[in-house]
Structure 1
Amino acid sequence: MADATVESAKRAAAQQAVKDHFDPSATNVGIGSGTTIVYVVEAIKEISTNPAIRFIPTGYQSRQVIVKAGLTPVAFDSLPEDTMFDVAFDGADEVDAELNCIKGGGACLFQEKLVAEKARKFVCVADYRKKQERLLTVWPTIPIEVAPIAVPTVLKGLRTLGSTNPKLRTTLLEKSGPLKTDQDFFIVDAPFKTLLIEADVKAGKGKGDGSDGTWEVNKLSEAIKALTGVLEVGIFSGLNGPDAETIRSTDGVKTVTSGQKPVAVYFGMQDGSVEVRTAK
């Protein structure tokens, strides 16, 4: 019964998200990974009458979902560099009050972030279990994609940052060794204390820079990303879709930052309703 409730919640959230954000005249649509995305593609298939739409998957699994639905998959790196996607749909392992997400439970975080950052709007679809006020409330770890040769170095660095017991993720058959991503990298799962949001730091609930044992979402993501050997971090934070491709200048040095956070998160609830959190 519990499983049926969860699946029903996922389908309801997917249908509402697609109804609100999918444009049948779109050109490029990003499709994420995971079980919830199956229902997103199902909902798109029901209303899409445009065979010219290109669907950009975030990995092998999402490509198979697109193909099975009779839609047209296109490889991310086959598109011109200035291509922006009309929308990208993806799931999450946990979402906080400021729409920061933890992703990577399915080991596709790097390609998921590439697609999210290329979307004019990234829309997240999840069930009620993923709806929390702070990250690392229920979901236990931050997934991190790491170069195989750098695993020992990254594990040491994570412990220095305060992770209690970071571990290399193995396959279900442990004798088969570490799980490999689509990039042939490994995944390290790093536990940390429940993360602060920007509002917590402003309210004086912690420094959020690790110096007092507290980490704010963005600062921890930056600290982990700075470790040599880390390809990408399973924290989706910072800007959201409307701010994508923003050029920021710090001390005269220009940097380009892209949107990682969703503009909206659709949570399918136990009672069949759908709750929506939007960017403030």
Structure 2
Amino acid sequence: MSLEAAKAAAAALGVCAVAKGHVVGIGSGSTVVHAVKALAHRHLTEQLNIKCIPSSFQAKQLILEHGLPLVDLDSHPVIDIAIDGADEADANLTLIKGGGGCLLQEKIVISCAKKFIVIADHTKDSKRLGEQYTKGIPIEVVPIAYVPITAKIIKEFGGEIVLRPAISKAGPCVTDNGNFILDWKFDKTKDFNWDDVNTKISMIPGVVETGLFVAMADKAYFGQADGTVTERSAK
């Protein structure tokens, strides 16, 4: 079974949690594409009367392309359920997100949701963070502060930090919010208290948001290579 098929299987189960009249937060990434397709089918065939709030430009385009009702946090500050992918999830459903650069808006949308469902393929499922995802933890920062922030994180926690480069232009990657992204490649041999790490990094002046999503996920669906889907709830 291909990874895309595994993602589609996880997404199909994940959107089953959406009920009629729900306000739904839509995340970003390749697995969310499958979720939006499945959600659009349910919206059409079951007359769900849902409303969707995007967490990125990509998510907004997906919502519009599939004919789903688009709203925002100004009009709907409380979200019934958010559906998003992850770059990696550990045994406690602590997540690394932000590989696509949308961590800030994703975390804002998820923080407004009563329930957060993770959908992913089996390669994102780990016992410990860093087992499979090797690009590090994204940290969105104000551009003028990226050098001192880099120094402070390395001094406090060790590891290496890379300023994420843009793909199709010279210079750094710039987020939807006009910021830079640092990718922190932490020491995988250390046992980190991720809640503590997230708090300390977030308190550094110039840090906008981290890609650590601690105690936010309620349930995760992981599509397996054999076509089955593994479910895991937060502890």
Q: Do Structure 1 and Structure 2 share a fold, with TM-score over 0.5?
A: yes
Distance 1:114 1:29, change over 3 A: same
Describe how 1:14-33 pairs up with structure 2 within 5 A. Answer: 14-19=11-16, 21-26=17-22, 28-33=23-28
Question: Contact 1:147–1:185 (CA<8 Å) still a contact in 2?
Answer: yes
Provide the residue aligned with 1:92 in structure 2: 86
2:37 counterpart (20, 32, 42): 42
What are structure 2's unaligned runs of at least 5 residues? none
Give 1:68-147 correspondences, 5 Å limit. Answer: 68-76=65-73, 78-79=74-75, 83-140=77-134, 141-147=136-142
Q: Which residue of 2 aligns with 1:60?
A: 57
User: Counterpart of 1:64 in 2: which secondary structure?
Assistant: helix
Question: Which residue is equivalent to 1:224?
Answer: 201
Cα deviation, 1:113-172, whole Å, max 9, x if unaligned, reads: 001111110000000000000112221201000000111111111111233220110111
Find the residue that maps to 1:29 and give its secondary structure: strand
Percent identity (aligned):
38
Q: Which residue of 2 aligns with 1:205?
A: none
2:164: which partner in 1? 169
Separation in 2, partners of 1:151, 1:42: 38
For 1:214 and 1:229, locate their aligned partners in 2 and report how far apart those are by CA, in whole Å: 26
Q: TM-score when scaled to structure 1?
A: 0.79
How far apart are residue 226 of structure 1 and its match?
Answer: 1.3
Higher Rg of the two aligned structures? 1
Whether the 8 Å contact between 1:24 and 1:47 is mirrored in structure 2 is: no
Q: Structure 1 residue 52: deviation in Å?
A: 4.4
Rounded Cα–Cα distance in structure 1 between residues aligned with 2:67 and 2:86: 25
For 2:119 and 2:140, the matched residues in 1 are separated by 23
Are residues 1:263 and 2:218 paired?
yes
Structure 2 equivalent of residue 246 of structure 1: none
Instruction: Spell out, residue by residue over 1:194-244, the C-alpha distance to the aligned partner (whole angstroms, 9 max, x if none).
Output: 38xxxxxxxxxxxxxxxxx64211111111111110000000003xxxxxx
Q: Which residue of 2 aligns with 1:157?
A: 152
Shift of 1:105: 0.2
CA distance in 2 between counterparts of 1:262 and 1:127 reads: 16
Give deviations 1:61-119, integer Å, cap 9, x for gaps.
0100111001122233x225xx3111000000000111110000000000000011111
Moved more, 40-49 or 56-65: 40-49
- Per the alignment, residue 254 of structure 1 pairs with none
Matches of 2:156 and 2:99 in 1, distance apart?
A: 21
The answer as to whether partners of 1:163 and 1:190 remain within 8 angstroms in 2 is no
Q: Could you say which residue in structure 2 is the equivalent of 1:276?
A: 231
Does the Cα contact within 8 Å between 1:30 and 1:119 map onto a contact in 2? yes
Secondary structure of 1:48's partner? helix
Q: Return the offset for 1:53.
A: 2.3
